[in-house]
Structure 1
């Protein structure tokens, strides 16, 4: 028993006495395996909260502001994780940190079933956000490096496949969580989310062990400030995107239910959104590969803004369906576009650090978004007011990306 446990630990941590030789898969194969990381970190770790939130609010008597604070906790954790991701990858190795952070995320999600105390839920959301950010940033760096010798189109597609994992996680949670909520309540839902995350971690281990290992303690992966100057405009857009999109993802289910949607309609909406997000990487691939980084980001943000604004003015079933397709089909592609910009602008050994730096700005926006939208939703405007401010922030980000589009400096 002890021997089996030791082997499992060595497999996850990459410390087996007889490691496999580093025969690295191609970028698309690597991305297809590593996409389980965003599926856990984003699809299950962050966005499934929107499905569980109405039951938690009802059972725990939370206000919208309190509910928003819990997602702010997740965003604060994401900020911390983004700050330490590159440094921890440099010290312990990217493969090891990717797997370890995913494992911690799964454990914290499962632990969310054990308590309804606001302080405890806050800390669990905080920890899950931090661990999820580390896996997300490091995984993005691994995929970008796997496609370092590929064409722009192939590398962009690989990034799209990787980030589509978030959509796959949303799709999975939409199929499973409502059923579990109906049968066993929000505690059972968190337990199942944690179990699904743990299974994903086990499934991704063989893929990670085939990737080329970065040497712990090697060259610093952090991006120097001077090298990040071409990314300043994009970073500003990314922060506004973080604040705007999270308002939608936190409260759209609450708006659906307040509009009289039945549980089956809520499930259908979430599955449609997740399915659109999972397929977005393929749909946007050619467009992003041909456009300059800033212009590609502006176009994706424009579609996202439209999807975010629709439920505010069109609350019928058709309106929600169109919103799900447009929003779901673009919000993760913003991340793809931003990461693709890093690949074009900076040298290979700076990618993980630059992705981490941009993720810090993104996380700052996510911290502000739920608090602002939650406070507005508690006012006279209701949840629609919070969604409106989110759409406005996304619109500003789109305009800024277009006006201050990045100059393509490297191919």
Structure 2
């Protein structure tokens, strides 16, 4: 790639991967969950299980990411993931059958894993050798795409729910919301395909390397990342329903979700220097404690100003945890094992985020309070920060 500016443009274009896989296919579900639950008569456990299905699909996708990259190519697999995600969004719009919705959410998770992980591999390959700070900046811009997706969804979905007539075109308002998300997904897929044409496919790990490398080198980092998966997902699944229980209207919901999305996109600029100074593992621990505080704030102070502060803290922090993990893996492992190391950590994370939505929904059903589920999530995040303490990595080089 000829210049630093070219790398920035490519990283921004590739960020259509997390925009689609996270911002639209996973997190926008929170905006539509209250309408879907009211229309379809779900318990909180059933509502949470749909995001558990999404996370389970993500876990399956992560497990086959490295083999797919070897056989199909990193760029092609990245675009295929975006296509699968978009098709799953459209399927979600076309049915109210719970079993079919479970299949659609699972498929969105599988495609989302390919689009998210392999896009990160493409961005990492586009980074500048010997310039870790600039490479980390590219990754931060890439992950920030998820915040862009959340921002667009926050502007569009509540507006549709407020204005779409019930039964328009034979669809409920929440179904029209999914149609709109699928249309955005198609646009993101086109951008992803164009971005891949401007990148060089990184060399995927050989099969024997993928099988034999020492996973203990990133074991504590991955264990802490598992707790991150358990804890963060509940907030981004249930917080809108919690706010509506507190009497918050759709316009405030839209503003809140835009704050979360904008903060997610801008999080790197707040926390990037911290990650550079502390290294991946230590920065991840600090960020998880901050994230826990933001998660429980709406329960402790159920007021509008606290809701928006919470959204800014959570939005501005959770993707930086992902960036910190990525930096940690890159510092501990040689370049040839980056894809395998990230896949391993993501599988550990996927186990956590698969259990997290159902666990929080079940806990909320048992105690009769969504707030209790958010508090549980905060506790799990702090536990993850403690679990990751033994992780060691080479000290960051001076920037």
Give the alignment's TM-score, normalised by structure 2.
0.93
Of residues 268-277 and 220-229 in structure 1, the stretch that sits farther from structure 2 once superposed is 220-229
8 Å CA contact 2:277–2:396 kept in 1: the answer is no
- Note the C-alpha offset of 1:380: 2.9
What's 2:305 paired with? 318
1:171 and 2:151 correspond: yes
What's 2:138 paired with? 158
8 Å CA contact 1:277–1:328 kept in 2: the answer is yes
Q: Provide the aligned length of Structure 1 versus Structure 2.
A: 388
Q: Name the Cα RMSD after superposition.
A: 1.8
Aligned equivalent of 2:275, options 281, 285, 288: 288
8 Å CA contact 2:50–2:101 kept in 1: the answer is yes
Three-state SS of the structure 1 residue aligned to 2:64 is helix
What's 1:15 paired with? none
What's 2:339 paired with? 352
1:208-287 alignment runs, 5 A limit = 208-214=196-202, 219-220=206-207, 223-224=210-211, 226-287=213-274
8 Å CA contact 1:295–1:406 kept in 2: the answer is no
8 Å CA contact 2:95–2:101 kept in 1: the answer is yes
8 Å CA contact 1:23–1:211 kept in 2: the answer is no
1:408 and 2:388 correspond: no
Q: 2-side partners of 1:341 and 1:364: how far apart?
A: 20
* Counterparts in 2 of 1:215 and 1:277: CA distance versus 1, 3 Å: closer
1:75 and 2:55 correspond: yes
1:167-206 alignment runs, 5 A limit = 167-184=147-164, 185-206=173-194
- Note the C-alpha offset of 1:27: 4.0
1:53-64 alignment runs, 5 A limit = 53-64=33-44
* Counterparts in 2 of 1:277 and 1:215: CA distance versus 1, 3 Å: closer
* Counterparts in 2 of 1:381 and 1:408: CA distance versus 1, 3 Å: farther
What's 2:168 paired with? none
8 Å CA contact 1:144–1:351 kept in 2: the answer is no
1:374 and 2:361 correspond: yes
Three-state SS of the structure 1 residue aligned to 2:42 is coil
Aligned equivalent of 1:398, options 348, 365, 385: 385
Three-state SS of the structure 1 residue aligned to 2:66 is helix
- Note the C-alpha offset of 1:28: 2.8
What's 1:308 paired with? 295
* Counterparts in 2 of 1:107 and 1:150: CA distance versus 1, 3 Å: farther
8 Å CA contact 2:154–2:258 kept in 1: the answer is yes
Unaligned runs of 5+ in 1: 1-21
Q: 1-side partners of 2:383 and 2:9: how far apart?
A: 36
What's 1:28 paired with? 8
8 Å CA contact 2:262–2:315 kept in 1: the answer is yes
1:340 and 2:320 correspond: no
Three-state SS of the structure 1 residue aligned to 2:324 is helix
Give the alignment's TM-score, normalised by structure 1.
0.91
Q: 2-side partners of 1:64 and 1:85: how far apart?
A: 31
* Counterparts in 2 of 1:221 and 1:189: CA distance versus 1, 3 Å: farther
Q: 2-side partners of 1:377 and 1:248: how far apart?
A: 12
Aligned equivalent of 2:92, options 112, 120, 131: 112
Unaligned runs of 5+ in 2: 165-172
Of residues 222-231 and 290-299 in structure 1, the stretch that sits farther from structure 2 once superposed is 222-231
4+ long deviations beyond 6 Å = 22-25
